Amino acid sequence: MQTHSPIHRNGIEFPRLGTKSYGELESACRAKRKASTSAMADECELKGQDRFVALKTSLNRDVTFADVDDFLGTHDGAKRAFHLSLKQSGKTEEQINEVFQSFAFLDAATLARELAGFIEPAPQVADSTGDEGDQQAAE
């Protein structure tokens, strides 16, 4: 993954995620899949060999770009991307949580996908007062 300039939103600079961070997103995605598969097996009351096969099949499947992209569209995935990005700029856990809480979910999920390089950031326009504080040039 190439290193790009940071993304600015709501007066905050978000460093882009690199390959190490992408690997951490893959691991988080895999853990989420494991938890979801286990919960589904519990709900379906799978036991013994059936449960083992369901869990093993799920866990042995590779995590793809599409899986990570889908994960970033979830609350947990978006929050993880925020955490990885803002940790790079020295923010504390409390500050990261405050920033994440300040975003609407869809905005957070979109920004998470931008940080990971799945989509290009939309150019930011000046507000009606003409202030260009959060303006970001299109790449």
**Which residues make Cβ contacts (< 8 Å) with residue 44, sequence separation at least 6?**
none
d(CA 9, CA 7): 7
Tokens representing 10? 């709501």
Predicted local confidence at residue 15, as pLDDT: 94
pLDDT at 136 over 70: no
Backbone angles phi, psi at 91, to 5 degrees: -75, 150
- Each residue's pLDDT tens digit, 45-93: 777 877 778 777 777 788 889 999 999 999 999 999 999 999 999 999 9
- Each residue's pLDDT tens digit, 101-135: 999 999 999 999 999 999 888 776 544 444 444 44
Predicted local confidence at residue 135, as pLDDT: 43
pLDDT at 39 over 60: yes
- The structure tokens 């013994």 sit at 48
d(CA 117, CA 32): 21
Task: Name the pTM for this structure.
Answer: 0.74
The residue with greater pLDDT, 97 or 57, is 97
Backbone angles phi, psi at 47, to 5 degrees: -135, 165
Predicted local confidence at residue 134, as pLDDT: 45
- Can you tell me the mean pLDDT for 15-39? 89
- Can you tell me the mean pLDDT for 1-29? 86
The residue with greater pLDDT, 43 or 89, is 89
Q: Which of 28, 27, 25, 3 is nearest to 16 (CA)?
A: 3
